[in-house]
Amino acid sequence: MANATVKVTLVKSVNGRLANHKACVKGLGLRRIGHTVEVQDTPENRGMINKAYYLLRVEG
């Protein structure tokens, strides 16, 4: 499980959201609604996912 990854998709707009939630979405590399990225399953990335969970869909 050294290279475990998760797929993260932005499913809601970041307009009008808290600045630190927008920063978490940007930090994960998501740019637009429907954009999917694969990120390492690290505590740092999990923290960003948990903070903005209501904007995202997570697989894996």
- Residue 1 — pLDDT band, cuts 50, 70, 90? low
Q: How far apart are CA 54 and CA 10, in angstroms?
A: 9
| Predicted confidence (pLDDT) per residue in 33-53, tens digit | 999 999 999 999 999 999 999
First and final C-alpha spacing in the chain: 12
Write the CATH number for 11: 3.30.1390.20
The pLDDT of 3-7, averaged and rounded, is 93
Structural domain count of the chain: 1
Q: Which domain holds residue 23?
A: 5-59
Q: What mean pLDDT value characterizes the chain?
A: 95
